[in-house]
Structure 1
């Protein structure tokens, strides 16, 4: 593929990525759906035959590209969340109730169900089945823009008395729950990926189980939260309350602080052994809380959002191209059955159960009515995070049936993009309309 052709295709694809959000905002077609389709068309061109698109030939590259894409998205969703979490406030804990339920109940149930199906129905070894469950369990902050909160609300964006309908997502527990879940579970899936790798390495004993719980579950998560929180607090103080006007970045209007915060939080957490994904999200939400009404928050989010679009464009185009170059070659009835079970049964049922048992009053912040619980349970989008985890795992350990795993995970991502992309716009429009008709906003508490 010549350099001129590459630049031409990338330029046209970038133009498409810029236009798509406006064109598809009110129709049942999402930008990721179109980008995957464009990637498939590019893959059918003769000039693409000169490039290997097998992820096994480029594990390191795939790992780093998908890793950075998820990191940028985590910073973006963290900066967009307006509902701050106060550790010392019981009311704050309750307002985040759907998120804790999705993380503590839905995700483990999903991992367990996919593991069981992979072992019992697909004939995978327990370790490989667990890896598949861990890879497919986290929801994706990259491809779920249609069901997530928008840009951060600042003082210059607060609606006037007659404009409450302009931004219905501000008091929307559906978008908040899905956004916060996607922001956190990309890091919380790591313990299960590590457990699968330990099992694949062999010789897993009771002592190893204790180490896994103590270090991989508790220790690394705690370090991630501490590093991310510290980075967000320090950078927030620097940006908004530095004594020197020159060092007060918010007044200077330099939004690249968001990228500096991303890299500092991720690098710091990884250096001390914590989960970098979780640290970035915690850093972003802490930085967001440092000065909630300042327009600088929107400026930082805008920079991250544009970078996320570029990275998503690259990943989806390559995914589409790889699909026409043998990525789905090893797809079989087991892959199809597991994928359909995941998106149509496992996630919706696990999500519904976690949100419905002893549910919080729907009239309070963090409370969901029946329709809202169904929406949150259903819209568990799979995406770039799953591709990253599989690339990470196969880079660290020999995984039997790697070809089949790549075909299965890629198929799951595409099915999720298509199914959730078609249903997100009409479903969210209906829920928003119902909320406006009811005229009732959550009462807090």
Structure 2
């Protein structure tokens, strides 16, 4: 644990010192932590000898995904969705299912996976995470319409894909919960995620219970921790609870969302980078070049360059979105942190194809972080920002 902490601290220091230059070049903090974990892991230097069964892996992944879904939910309150929903709606309601199906088809025919496992793989890899292409969503020269599309899509698709992953994983025999029990966990998670913030926000409006202004971010943190604790105690699905709680806070307490935004983003970023470091340490040279056949590499490349681009090409028909922005949106669908955690859920599920699925998931994410984090600045500089927000 001390070696992991020291490695994280050193990489974080290096990442922050080069962050200004990285924001203007193909350098990337995400790639730094991924490659850092790869080099420091058991397959190369052995400084951070972590295996998938270590408790720190599951705990860190769980906490990080909870934080990601909570902050993602706060980006997509109902009011935000009503303002400009057409393009994100196309990407979510048509592009996401099509990406899932196309990825499943590729997995079945390129790798030979059974159909159920192929669709599970498609569901795990369907969500996107523009944190790994931050120059696209964080630069003013990028058209606001495109930034809004990618931000809303990435904020919602993690939560939309999760129930599908859980249902398919249960169908494959990878969880003790099945049928009504699984439905109960999902519904209970959503209820906890909605009711807890509503109750806390209602209490905070009472004259004698108002939070001090400079402590309001901690009130939002307390809501998240309470949802986490209740979901854990009741066996409700804590990830859907986190997502529902974030949306509820954004909808009924927009002031708290604004106060929490910077603090929440920094906390989530720290947890993500730590999880990426651990994820990189799980990947060894043998993992990539001996344990994955050439058909797995073919699938991984096609999953990045064909599945999402074709799905969004269909989704954008008749949308009026400029072609350059369509191409940017089709390319910048990086496989991010949600896919990492969903992949770990599959690995620990015990299903017969778990190891093969995790290898394919890890390879796609590895290639995605390298490819998307290295091309975002180049593409951002070529985009025009004069397009109005729908």
- Using structure 2 for the length normalisation, give the TM-score: 0.84
SS at match of 1:121: helix
How far is the alpha carbon of 1:96 from its aligned partner? Answer: 1.2
Structure 2 gaps, min length 5:
none
Within 1, Cα distance between the matches of 2:253 and 2:163? 33
Distance 1:94 1:47, change over 3 A: closer
> What's the offset of the Cα at 1:346?
0.7
Tell which structure's C-alpha radius of gyration is larger.
Answer: 1
Q: Distance in 2 between matches of 1:426 and 1:101?
A: 26
Partner of 1:192: 164
CA contact (8 A) 2:347 2:355 kept: no
Q: CA deviation at 1:314?
A: 1.6
* 1:441 aligned onto 2:388: yes
Structure 1 residues 429 and 230, CA gap change in structure 2 (3 angstroms): farther
- Contact map agreement 1:143 1:381 (CA 8 A) in 2: yes
Contact 1:235 1:287 in 2 (8 A): no
Give the structure-1-normalised TM-score: 0.75
Q: Secondary structure at the match of 1:112?
A: helix
Q: Which residue of the partner structure matches residue 85 of structure 1?
A: 78
**In 1, Cα distance between the equivalents of 2:325 and 2:135?**
15
The aligned runs of 1:294-305 (5 Å cut-off) are 294=255, 297-305=257-265
Change (3 A) 1:381 1:411: same
The alignment status of 1:72 with 2:58, answered yes or no, reads no
The verdict on how the C-alpha distance between 1:435 and 1:53 changes in structure 2, with shifts beyond 3 A counting, is same
The answer to whether 1:116 aligns with 2:105 is yes
Aligned equivalent of 2:310:
349
Q: CA deviation at 1:215?
A: 7.3
CA deviation map 1:302-335 (0-9, x unaligned): 2222222322222222233332364324122122
Structure 1 gap segments, 5+ residues each: 151-166, 203-207, 363-367
Residues 317-326 or 416-425, more deviating: 317-326
Residue 161 of structure 1 aligns with which residue? Answer: none
Q: Is the 8 A contact 1:183 1:281 kept in 2?
A: no
CA distance in 1, matches of 2:84, 2:188: 24
Match of 1:53 in 2: 50
- The counterpart of 1:277, out of the listed 218, 239, 263, is 239
- 1:243 is matched with 207
2:149 match: 177
C-alpha distance in structure 2 between counterparts of 1:380 and 1:267, whole Å: 32
- The aligned residue for residue 297 of structure 2 is 336
2:338 is the counterpart of 1:403? no
> What is aligned with 1:162?
none
- Which of 223, 244, 249 aligns to 1:261? It is 223
Number of residue pairs aligned between Structure 1 and Structure 2? 386
- Listed one character per residue, the Cα deviations across residues 77-99 of structure 1 (whole Å, up to 9, x for unaligned) are 344x3x7524xxxx954721222
Q: How far does residue 417 in structure 1 lie from its aligned partner after superposition?
A: 0.7
Q: Superposed, which structure 2 residues align to 1:384-403 within 5 Å?
A: 384-400=337-353, 402-403=354-355
